[in-house]
């Protein structure tokens, strides 16, 4: 059972403003039955001062989807259109006392429905809206680049896993993972240059075998790290051409700096483990071999070699050079 | 609130108080190690021996030493599949079905991806019936093991595993079946079957969690998953979980005694539940092979609403059920079983499973039939896909998803 807050339960069991609004001034519809959740938001707007007089919703979805819809209507009634546009999915989740990470996409759906309803009220053509929203990234759940960008920005997302939890993109066939990584890399790079994100946390898109061009020896947070983008020459041919040149001088890292980078990268993946009831901890660093200790469900997980592989990828990414990740026990035995 | 109504017995069952009573002395009195030579060990050893014959009886197995105790269904499945692969290293193919429990399916997918095995995933039709033609075509001398479940945990649909085992045997392929949902619910006679290996789990039949068994037919080539001590005749090392094993034995005995009840009274209650709901709720249907399934399982798909919301409202009424909806599992898609059957998304998200047991009463069933129509109606009134005025669905096509 999900650990829903009392506020979520209250809004699910006693939804506010559910139902149809007759002759609405704006209607926003998002989601689809295939996705497992869909929301239709209807608003009534005062022509005098652009204030939202009434809002109603109809939602197909789980407990948190219905609760998010209900919360949204409560939050926007009485606001002007401009005020309402400042409501983010974080605001919705916060209003509800938080949502489980896997359920954050419900709050994103609410924020998207609000945008759609206001666009509809303003008479902005939906087709134009669609174009602005950019290319379709996740075909399974119909997630556009625009939606991804907004979710990444609003929630300061820096991993593909959290992007999936917040938007569902990549949650089914996962073939769009590469596209998600590209969008995430672009948006994070923009956020870094705008001073909204610490460059050390930013996701860097990188094609297979093409290591980060920028040295990671002294990533002073103040320095704008624009190079996240230059590395994004579509890798397919470039990578194969000169793999040796792509390898940065790893020796430049001091041990302390190296451990700091590893710790940082591990911190970033820990929520993924903790969601499944496990955890991961750094035990030792010996040259290019990093030993980690897996805890909880991770230990017995038949996929633990997958897990280590995933950690290895993240660490190699953070250090800008290939490292080997081994379970702590193995390394002791060796 | 009314007393809780537990209809999630395919997930796990309440441990029978008689099982607990049988186990208790093995914690504090007969706590010895069955391998020890003294009296404490003898008492524990006697408990193990008795439990083994109790399981043998429930399975209709020819020999008690065909029963190997394990930590549960997942270990039994893993041990069986990996054993066959080790015993036939020159064979590089595995056959399984699209609707297996993750204990089998995830392992097979892992073996395909990481170890390079060729995996044949046999599809099912819209009622969850196995595609026998595809199964026949997948069998060859290259196949190291077939692992196909006896009954599906979500729909209760039964596969003709005895026939499937014979087909595999004709080509000298070892046949394993995950039977955790069948053992204790249907009469079995493994001595007369071609099934080589069968997994069972204690907590699915009113026994404790953390204990199960793998049936290994005499003569089957077996390579242990856990090596070490000589326990279980060298087939599963590790000091035996004696209280768990004794509990599993007693649970098997009780299940055997309850088979008639399961297939008459419990079946009738299940049918009463289904018919009651179908009569009161529109746009809902039973999933799975209705004429050929477990007596205790009902899986109904309620269209245009979502399963987690149903479960939350049922829970508030004191009714425990489960759902194949995406949202309940934390994944983003409906269950792989519903998708394998091609259940449309409009219904798959609202698929709800009620699994009864010998402890289920008529009053409980009637209570569910009384409260569920209101819950479905309530959620449909919130759903943009449902037009309450006409009692039908309506077109709802969001402009952008």
Q: Looking at residue B397, what is its pLDDT?
A: 56
Q: Looking at residue A299, what is its pLDDT?
A: 53
Instruction: Name which of B66-75, B200-209, B254-263, B328-337 the model is least confident about.
Output: B328-337
A18·B110 Cβ contact <8 A: no
Q: Looking at residue B387, what is its pLDDT?
A: 72
Instruction: Name which of B112-116, B246-250, B382-386 the model is least confident about.
Output: B382-386
State residue B370 phi and psi, 5-degree precision.
Answer: -75, -40
Averaged pLDDT for residues B199-221: 98
% of residues, chain A, pLDDT over 70: 77
Within-domain flag for A1: no
Which chain B positions have a beta carbon within 8 Å of A30's beta carbon? Answer: 398, 400-401
A157 shares its domain with A48: no
**CA-based radius of gyration for chain B:** 22
Which chain B positions have a beta carbon within 8 Å of A32's beta carbon? Answer: 398, 401
| Residue at which a domain ends, from A106, A130, A154 | A130
In the structure encoding, which two tokens stand for residue A266, read together? 């591990």
Q: Which long-range contacts (CB under 8 A, 24 or more apart) does B234-242 make?
A: B235/B68, B236/B68, B236/B69, B236/B70, B236/B79, B239/B33, B239/B34, B239/B35, B240/B34, B240/B44, B240/B48, B240/B69, B241/B69, B241/B71, B241/B210, B241/B211, B242/B26, B242/B30, B242/B31, B242/B34, B242/B44, B242/B47, B242/B48
CATH number 1.10.3720.10 given to B259-382: no
B399·A130 Cβ contact <8 A: yes
Closest CA to A294 of A310, A279, A312, A284: A279
Q: Where are the domains of chain B?
A: 17-257, 259-382
A16 shares its domain with A117: yes
| A232: three-class secondary structure by DSSP | helix
B110·A102 Cβ contact <8 A: no
Q: Looking at residue A252, what is its pLDDT?
A: 61
- Cα-Cα-Cα-Cα dihedral sign, residues A167, B101, B231, B246: positive
Q: Looking at residue B198, what is its pLDDT?
A: 98
Averaged pLDDT for residues B86-113: 96
Whether the per-residue pLDDT at A262 is higher than 80: the answer is yes
A58·B382 Cβ contact <8 A: yes
Q: What is the pLDDT of residues A131-144, one digit of tens each?
A: 457 778 887 777 88
Q: B271: which residues sit within 8 A by CB, 6+ positions away?
A: none
In contact, A222 and A195? CB cutoff 8 Å: no
Instruction: Name which of A146-155, B58-67, B110-119 the model is least confident about.
Output: A146-155
pLDDT: is A171 or B31 the higher one? B31
Average pLDDT, chain B: 94
Give the DSSP H or E segment for B6: strand B5-6
In contact, B100 and B149? CB cutoff 8 Å: yes
- Cα-Cα-Cα-Cα dihedral sign, residues B323, B329, B332, B337: negative
| 3-state class percentages of chain A: helix first, strand second, coil last, to nearest 5 | 50, 15, 35
Helix axis angle for A255-275 and A304-319, nearest 10°, is 140
List residues bridging with B151 in a β-sheet.
B158
- Among the partner-chain residues B345, B399, B400, the one whose CB lies closest to the CB of A33 is B345
A218 shares its domain with A310: no
Q: Looking at residue A1, what is its pLDDT?
A: 64
A176 shares its domain with A207: yes
A116·B400 Cβ contact <8 A: yes
Q: Looking at residue A129, what is its pLDDT?
A: 45
B401·A305 Cβ contact <8 A: no
In contact, B139 and B173? CB cutoff 8 Å: yes
Q: Looking at residue B228, what is its pLDDT?
A: 94
Whether the per-residue pLDDT at B108 is higher than 70: the answer is yes
In contact, A228 and A317? CB cutoff 8 Å: no
Give the DSSP H or E segment for B368: helix B362-382
In contact, A325 and A306? CB cutoff 8 Å: no
ipTM score for this prediction: 0.84
| CA angle in degrees (0–180, nearest 5) for A322-A323-A325 | 140
In the structure encoding, which two tokens stand for residue B153, read together? 């945990």
Q: What is the pLDDT of residues A156-172, one digit of tens each?
A: 999 999 998 888 888 87
State residue A324 phi and psi, 5-degree precision.
Answer: -105, 130
Containing domain of residue A111, as a range? 6-130
Residue in chain B lying closest to A106 (CA) = B327
Scan for tokens 């002073």, then name that residue.
A220
Which chain A positions have a beta carbon within 8 Å of B398's beta carbon? Answer: 29-32, 38, 40
| Residue at which a domain ends, from A77, A96, A130 | A130
Residue in B338, B384, B387 to test binding to A, most A beta-carbons within 10 Å: B384
Scan for tokens 């290259």, then name that residue.
B142
Q: Looking at residue A304, what is its pLDDT?
A: 58
Instruction: Name which of A272-286, B52-66, B113-127, B314-328 the model is least confident about.
Output: A272-286
A229 shares its domain with A290: no
Residue in B71, B302, B308 to test binding to A, most A beta-carbons within 10 Å: B308
A275 shares its domain with A328: yes
Within-domain flag for A293: yes
Within-domain flag for A35: yes
A120 shares its domain with A140: no
Which chain B positions have a beta carbon within 8 Å of A142's beta carbon? Answer: 400-401
Total structural domains within chain A = 3
Question: Which residues of A are known to be catalytic?
Answer: 35, 106
Which chain B positions have a beta carbon within 8 Å of A39's beta carbon? Answer: 384
Residue in chain A lying closest to B114 (CA) = A306
A327 shares its domain with A221: no
CB count in 10 Å sphere of residue A286 = 11
CA–CA distance, A129 with A30 (Å, rounded to integer): 13
List residues bridging with A26 in a β-sheet.
A43
A191 shares its domain with A286: no
Q: Looking at residue A139, what is its pLDDT?
A: 76
B400·A35 Cβ contact <8 A: no
Burial environment of residue B263 by CB neighbours within 10 A (0 to 12, 13 to 18, 19 or more): middle
A240 shares its domain with A292: no
End-to-end CA distance of chain A: 42
In the structure encoding, which two tokens stand for residue A76, read together? 């926007």
B334·A36 Cβ contact <8 A: yes
Of the residues B272, B327, B339, B377, only one is catalytic, namely B327
Whether the per-residue pLDDT at A75 is higher than 70: the answer is yes
pLDDT: is A231 or B194 the higher one? B194
| CA angle in degrees (0–180, nearest 5) for B283-B287-B291 | 120
Residue in chain A lying closest to B310 (CA) = A62
E strand map for chain A: 26-32, 37-45, 52-60, 136-138, 143-144, 278-286, 289-296, 324-327
CA–CA distance, A68 with A111 (Å, rounded to integer): 9
Task: From residue B328, give the alpha-carbon distance in Å to each of A15, A40, A62, B312.
Answer: 20, 22, 8, 10
Q: What is the pLDDT of residues A173-226, one digit of tens each?
A: 788 888 899 999 999 999 999 999 999 999 988 754 333 433 333 334 443 333
Q: Residue B381, CB half-sphere, CA atoms under 13 Å: how many? A: 10
Averaged pLDDT for residues B207-229: 97
Task: Tell me how many residue pairs between chain A and chain B have CB atoms under 8 A apart.
Answer: 121
CA–CA distance, B326 with B343 (Å, rounded to integer): 14
Q: Looking at residue A205, what is its pLDDT?
A: 85
Which chain A positions have a beta carbon within 8 Å of B75's beta carbon? Answer: none
Within-domain flag for A108: yes
Fold (topology level) of B17-257? 3.40.640
pLDDT: is B170 or B327 the higher one? B170
Q: What is the pLDDT of residues B148-183, one digit of tens each?
A: 999 999 999 999 999 999 999 999 999 999 999 999
Within-domain flag for A12: yes
Whether the per-residue pLDDT at A331 is higher than 50: the answer is no
Within the 120-179 window of chain A, which residues sit less than 8 Å (CB to CB) from chain B?
126, 129-130, 133, 140-144, 164, 168, 171-172
In the structure encoding, which two tokens stand for residue B267, read together? 């079946």
Closest CA to A93 of A105, A82, A80, A107: A107
- The CATH number that applies at residue A57 is 3.90.1010.10
Q: Looking at residue A133, what is its pLDDT?
A: 73
In contact, B229 and B263? CB cutoff 8 Å: no
Averaged pLDDT for residues A96-111: 89
Q: What is the pLDDT of residues A16-60, one digit of tens each?
A: 999 999 999 999 998 877 777 899 999 999 999 999 999 999 999
Which chain B positions have a beta carbon within 8 Å of A305's beta carbon? Answer: 114
| Residue at which a domain ends, from A248, A281, A311 | A248
Instruction: Name which of A216-230, B37-51, B237-251 the model is least confident about.
Output: A216-230
Task: From residue B132, give the alpha-carbon distance in Å to each of A299, B158, B174, B289.
Answer: 38, 13, 18, 15
Of the pLDDT bands very low, low, confident and very high (cuts 50, 70, 90), residue A241 is very low
Whether the per-residue pLDDT at A230 is higher than 60: the answer is no
Buried b (16+ CB within 10 A) or exposed e, A184-205: bbbbbbbbbbeeebbbbbbbbb
Q: What is the pLDDT of residues A273-304, one digit of tens each?
A: 777 667 788 888 877 788 888 776 555 444 45
CA–CA distance, B159 with B178 (Å, rounded to integer): 11
Entry field: residues in chain B: 401
């Amino acid at each position: 059972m999900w650990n829903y807050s009392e506020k979520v339960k209250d809004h699910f069991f006693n939804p506010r403003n559910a139902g149809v609004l007759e002759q609405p001034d704006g209607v926003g519809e998002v989601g689809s039955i295939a996705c497992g959740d869909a929301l239709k938001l209807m608003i009534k707007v005062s022509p005098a001062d652009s204030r939202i007089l009434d809002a109603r919703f109809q939602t197909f979805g789980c407990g948190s989807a219905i609760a998010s819809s209900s919360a949204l209507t409560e939050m926007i009634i009485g606001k002007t259109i401009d005020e309402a546009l400042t409501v983010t999915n974080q605001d919705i989740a916060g209003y509800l006392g938080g949502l489980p990470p896997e359920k954050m996409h419900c709050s994103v759906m609410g924020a998207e429905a609000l945008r759609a309803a206001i666009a509809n009220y303003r008479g902005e053509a939906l087709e134009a809206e669609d174009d602005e929203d950019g290319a379709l990234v996740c075909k399974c759940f119909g997630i556009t680049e625009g939606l991804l960008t907004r979710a990444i920005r609003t929630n300061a997302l820096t991993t593909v896993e959290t992007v999936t939890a917040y938007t569902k993109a990549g949650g089914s066939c996962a073939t769009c993972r590469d596209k998600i990584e590209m969008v995430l890399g672009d948006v994070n790079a923009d956020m870094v240059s705008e001073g909204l994100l610490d460059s050390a946390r930013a996701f860097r898109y990188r094609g297979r075998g093409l290591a980060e061009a920028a040295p990671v020896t002294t990533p002073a947070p103040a320095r704008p790290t624009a190079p996240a983008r230059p590395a994004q020459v579509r890798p397919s041919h470039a990578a194969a051409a000169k793999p040796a040149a792509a390898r940065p001088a790893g020796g430049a890292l001091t041990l302390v700096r190296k451990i700091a980078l590893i710790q940082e990268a591990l911190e970033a993946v820990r929520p993924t483990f903790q969601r499944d009831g496990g955890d991961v901890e750094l035990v030792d660093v010996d040259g290019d071999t990093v030993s980690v200790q897996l805890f909880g469900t991770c230990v017995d997980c038949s996929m633990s070699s997958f897990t280590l592989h995933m950690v290895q990828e993240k660490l190699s990414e953070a250090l800008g050079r290939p490292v080997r990740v081994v379970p702590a026990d193995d390394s002791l035995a060796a | 609130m009314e007393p809780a109504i537990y209809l999630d017995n395919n997930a796990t069952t309440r441990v029978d108080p008689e099982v607990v009573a049988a186990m208790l002395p093995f914690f504090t009195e007969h706590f010895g190690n069955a391998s020890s030579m003294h009296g404490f060990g003898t008492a524990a050893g006697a408990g193990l021996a008795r439990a083994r014959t109790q399981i043998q009886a429930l399975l209709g197995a020819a020999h008690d030493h065909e029963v190997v105790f394990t930590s549960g269904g997942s270990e039994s499945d893993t041990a069986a599949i990996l054993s066959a692969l080790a015993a036939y290293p020159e064979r590089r193919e595995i056959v399984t079905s699209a609707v297996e429990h993750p204990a089998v399916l995830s392992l097979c997918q892992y073996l395909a991806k990481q170890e390079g095995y060729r995996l044949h995933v046999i599809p099912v039709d819209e009622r969850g019936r196995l595609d026998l033609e595809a199964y026949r075509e997948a069998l060859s001398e290259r196949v190291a093991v077939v692992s196909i479940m006896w009954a599906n945990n979500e729909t209760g649909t039964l596969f003709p595993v005895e026939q499937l085992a014979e087909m595999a045997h004709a080509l000298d392929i070892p046949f394993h079946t995950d039977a955790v949902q069948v053992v204790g619910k249907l009469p079995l006679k493994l001595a007369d079957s071609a099934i080589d290996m069968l997994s069972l789990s204690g907590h699915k039949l009113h026994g404790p969690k953390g204990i199960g068994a793998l049936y290994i037919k005499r003569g089957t080539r077996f390579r242990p998953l856990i090596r070490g001590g000589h326990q279980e005749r060298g087939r599963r090392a590790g000091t035996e979980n004696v209280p768990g094993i004794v509990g599993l034995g007693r649970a098997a005995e009780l299940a055997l005694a309850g088979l008639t009840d399961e297939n008459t009274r419990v079946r009738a209650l299940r049918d009463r539940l289904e018919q009651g709901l179908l009569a009161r709720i529109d746009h809902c249907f039973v999933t799975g092979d209705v004429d050929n399934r477990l007596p205790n399982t009902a899986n109904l798909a309620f269209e245009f609403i979502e399963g987690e919301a149903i479960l939350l409202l049922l829970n508030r009424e004191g009714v425990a059920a489960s759902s194949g909806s995406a949202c309940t599992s934390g994944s983003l898609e409906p269950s792989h079983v519903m998708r394998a059957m091609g259940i449309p998304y409009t219904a798959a998200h609202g698929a709800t499973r009620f699994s009864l047991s010998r402890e289920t009463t008529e009053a409980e069933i009637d209570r569910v039939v009384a409260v569920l129509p209101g819950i479905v109606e309530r959620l449909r009134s919130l759903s943009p896909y449902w037009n309450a005025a006409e009692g039908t669905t309506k077109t709802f096509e969001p402009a952008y998803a």
